[in-house]
Structure 1
Amino acid sequence: MKNYFIYWMLVLMPVFSFGQNEISKENVTATPLIPTSKASLLKDVDVIFNTRLAFDNYFVDNEHVNSLFSVNQFRFEVKGKIHDKVFFRFRNRYTKIADPNTIDNASRTVDMAYLTIDVAPQTKLSFGKMIGDWGGYELLTNPIEILSYNTINNYGENFMAGASLSYALTDHKNKFNFQVLNSRTKTFQDQFGTAAPPGITAAETPLAAVGNWKGSFFGGKMETTYSYGYFMDAENASRNLISLGNKYKNNKLAVYYDFQYSKEDLDQKCVVSNIIKTKYAYAAENVSYVENWIRAEYQIRPKLNLLLTLMSDNAYWNGNPDPNKSCHLLTSYGIIPTVEYSPFADFNMKFYAGYIAKRNNYSDYAQKNFGAVNGTTGQLSFGIIAPLMIL
């Protein structure tokens, strides 16, 4: 029996040794899922779930309509450095209907997908889909913090594909940005279709040029973001947008004020067009929007903030062919009081309660000629705001 045992041991020992060598080799050569050479990049990369969840209660003309839980905002974001001189940013919105039929080949749910290259110590060059630098602080604020937008930013397309060149002065108190972007994401046919006025055709180069200046004064207490944008929406139909954003911050108080003026040869916001559609089959021509937006934030306690947003917008149809016309058709108002409570000192998550009250006041001319009716809407929300940084 011993002879048989010794015999099998002599046969199997090389096999065991070979297996152990293979296991040892595998342990030595196996690579981690993220290579060590790449893992160091993660320290410069942020992965964020921009989230706003709420229980919403809706009202129309002071009458309760319905109540439900909503995922108001959910935008997945990845941003960071992939090289000493190369930065990237990607953000996708999952609370928006995907529309692949765009002129830039990116779904309209994609807010941003761009690269930024440091071409010089104070000069940066960006390519891809980015936020248009024509808005004031309302547009620059993280969308999860804005319960409702004013007219121009609400109905405008604010994320476009293109290129951007920015330059900061040596003191970094003044920054200049110049963008060349697509003027829209939809094709002309998809946006206007049969509503395009006679003689108005799609532009061969539907582009926009935007210039922006950001300034800082009084030790950073006062900041500005002023811009001018020129858009080629169609052949012989352009759009001019002026935006003046102002910010004051001191200790526990922050106040923002935006003024925006949009003059449009062809109504891109469609607010005026929707008013006159009872009598006119085409999109309105020669319209303008003038609006004001104010937001005040005050920290009454370390974990408790009070916010108040006020907004107004005036819509004009300057191209009205009626000899007895009144250009002014609508004044809209909005007020949003909000209370925020932050339970954690080391984690950016807030419980909030806010009410969005809006009113449309149509001019006598709009009521008499187009059947417009004044009305109010309301939304009472209780929820959570959190830019969840998981990496």
Structure 2
Amino acid sequence: MEKQTNEGNQLFTDTIKSLIPISKQSLLRDIDVVFNTRMAYDSKFFDGEHTLSNFNVNQLRFEVKGKIHDKVYFRFRNRYTREPIPGNLDNISRSVDLAFVRIDLSPRTNFSFGKLCADWGGWEFDFNPIDILAYNDIIEYADNFLVGAGISHTLSDEKNSFSFQILNSRTKTYEEQYGSTAPPNLNPSEYPLAAVVNWRGNFFDGKFETTYSYSFFNEAKGAHMNYFALGNKFKAKNLLLYYDFQYSDEGLDRKGIISGIISNQYQYAAQNTLYVENWIRAEYLVNPKINLLLTVMTSNASWKDNPDPNGSSKLSTSYGLIPTIQYMPFKDFNMKFYLGYVARKYNYTGYAETTFGAKDYTTGLLSFGIIAPLLVL
């Protein structure tokens, strides 16, 4: 009986080995399979009152990436915490973050094609999403993963790199994006495209880094979006400090925040809106196992095209405060236990309150869980 069991195990092992031909097994050395994961027990609050406590899989993004040729790299990442609804403009599920091929044209220059991460400046969006408990408003309401093509080049000093992308301006068609709220004086563009330019710099032996970008979106005929994102990173011995400034001037309200405020009096999406944000994140490594974090953010929303001659252009300001402590028990494995609190406050101007009935409110989220990019291959 023992001999038969051993023979069975050997047959099983040989069968598994044969699934991947020996000639192709070398490819696996350059392939990573990752489950980007954040799981937590969350308690939610509204205006200081507890509303719900439950377990959540906040983030689960399956990722496969690596080289399939000396000069060809691919990356695919799918999000299992978003509905897999195909965009009717780009024909790919919105749950797919990334699906692209990169070709190295030279040691310093590469070309990418497919569904890309828009190369916004700013460090907030540069983080792995599992490390961000809550985004500021611009990133939260933007289409950040878009189909298109891009080219990037690193200068010979290896301290400065530049990228340029041409992308679809959104995942949906104009009609699906705005529906009945599309302003009657605007028509969809025949070229719903966006151009993104990014510069990344590295100075003072890595103590100061930048990621700055400018983006132009052709949202509709005569309605465009100009978006600036300026990210700064300061590094000391045990301290990391990030500061982002973001400015989004939108001919047609893409974020939808202003449109939501005025919706009880204006049936169409707002035109000529402006969003200005500040985002600061500080990280202090107390010791190799304990990391302290604090994120502070603000977002101002204005309606520059307010038709009320006596009205105010600024309608709201949101604030965010996120203190977090992380515990990293393993020296050789990137897994973090964390405890964090996301406090958000939404303030409306007196004009927005009296004219549109807006009311201030606060939200809170107490989260305890695990953050880990689980590299399984």
TM-score, normalised relative to structure 2: 0.95
Which of these residues, 76, 83, 86, is aligned with residue 97 of structure 1?
83
Q: Deviations over 1:195-253 (max 9, x none)?
A: 00112121111000011000000001110000000000111111000010000112211
Corresponding residue for 1:363?
A: 349
Which of these residues, 191, 202, 206, is aligned with residue 220 of structure 1?
206
Tell me the amino acid that sits aligned with residue 54 of structure 1: A
Q: Deviations over 1:79-107 (max 9, x none)?
A: 01111101110000000111124311110
2:175 aligned with 1:189: yes
Corresponding residue for 1:170?
A: 156
* Mapped partners of 1:237, 1:318: distance in 2: 14
Corresponding residue for 1:111?
A: 97
Corresponding residue for 2:325?
A: 339
Q: Tell me the CA shift for residue 31 of structure 1.
A: 7.8
* Mapped partners of 1:67, 1:292: distance in 2: 30
Corresponding residue for 2:8?
A: none
Tell me the amino acid that sits aligned with residue 227 of structure 1: S
Q: Indicate if the aligned counterparts of 1:308 and 1:337 stay in contact, CA closer than 8 A.
A: yes
Corresponding residue for 2:308?
A: 322
Tell me the amino acid that sits aligned with residue 118 of structure 1: D
Tell me the amino acid that sits aligned with residue 296 of structure 1: A
Q: Indicate if the aligned counterparts of 1:276 and 1:370 stay in contact, CA closer than 8 A.
A: yes
TM-score, normalised relative to structure 1: 0.92
Tell me the amino acid that sits aligned with residue 189 of structure 1: E
Q: Deviations over 1:121-178 (max 9, x none)?
A: 2110000001101241100100000000000000000000000010100121000000
Write the mapping of 1:28-43 to structure 2, written as runs, cut at 5 A. 32-43=18-29
2:224 aligned with 1:234: no
Q: Indicate if the aligned counterparts of 1:123 and 1:166 stay in contact, CA closer than 8 A.
A: yes
2:285 aligned with 1:299: yes
% of aligned pairs identical? 60
Corresponding residue for 2:60?
A: 74
Q: Indicate if the aligned counterparts of 1:102 and 1:108 stay in contact, CA closer than 8 A.
A: no
Corresponding residue for 1:155?
A: 141
Corresponding residue for 2:50?
A: 64
Q: What secondary structure, in the 3-state scheme, does the structure 2 residue paired with 1:286 have?
A: strand
Structure 1: runs of 5 or more not aligned: 1-27
Tell me the amino acid that sits aligned with residue 262 of structure 1: S
Q: Indicate if the aligned counterparts of 1:252 and 1:300 stay in contact, CA closer than 8 A.
A: yes
Tell me the amino acid that sits aligned with residue 279 of structure 2: W
Corresponding residue for 1:262?
A: 248
* Mapped partners of 2:72, 2:204: distance in 1: 32
Tell me the amino acid that sits aligned with residue 304 of structure 2: N
Q: What secondary structure, in the 3-state scheme, does the structure 2 residue paired with 1:138 have?
A: coil
Tell me the amino acid that sits aligned with residue 228 of structure 1: Y
Tell me the amino acid that sits aligned with residue 199 of structure 1: N
* Mapped partners of 1:222, 1:35: distance in 2: 47
Tell me the amino acid that sits aligned with residue 301 of structure 1: N
Corresponding residue for 1:25?
A: none
* Mapped partners of 1:337, 1:88: distance in 2: 36
* Mapped partners of 1:186, 1:94: distance in 2: 20
Tell me the amino acid that sits aligned with residue 134 of structure 1: W
Q: Tell me the CA shift for residue 323 of structure 1.
A: 0.7
* Mapped partners of 1:335, 1:222: distance in 2: 24
Task: Tell me the C-alpha RMSD between the 2 structures.
Answer: 1.3
Q: What secondary structure, in the 3-state scheme, does the structure 2 residue paired with 1:203 have?
A: coil
Q: What secondary structure, in the 3-state scheme, does the structure 2 residue paired with 1:372 have?
A: coil
Corresponding residue for 1:245?
A: 231
2:165 aligned with 1:179: yes
Q: Indicate if the aligned counterparts of 1:298 and 1:307 stay in contact, CA closer than 8 A.
A: yes
Q: Deviations over 1:25-59 (max 9, x none)?
A: xxx9x982111111111111110000000000000
Aligned residues: 364
Structure 2: runs of 5 or more not aligned: 1-13
Q: What secondary structure, in the 3-state scheme, does the structure 1 residue paired with 2:83 have?
A: coil
Tell me the amino acid that sits aligned with residue 314 of structure 2: H
- Compare 281-290 and 128-137 and name the one that shifted more: 128-137
* Mapped partners of 2:107, 2:58: distance in 1: 39
* Mapped partners of 1:38, 1:295: distance in 2: 44
Q: What secondary structure, in the 3-state scheme, does the structure 1 residue paired with 2:268 have?
A: coil
* Mapped partners of 2:230, 2:332: distance in 1: 34
Corresponding residue for 1:7?
A: none
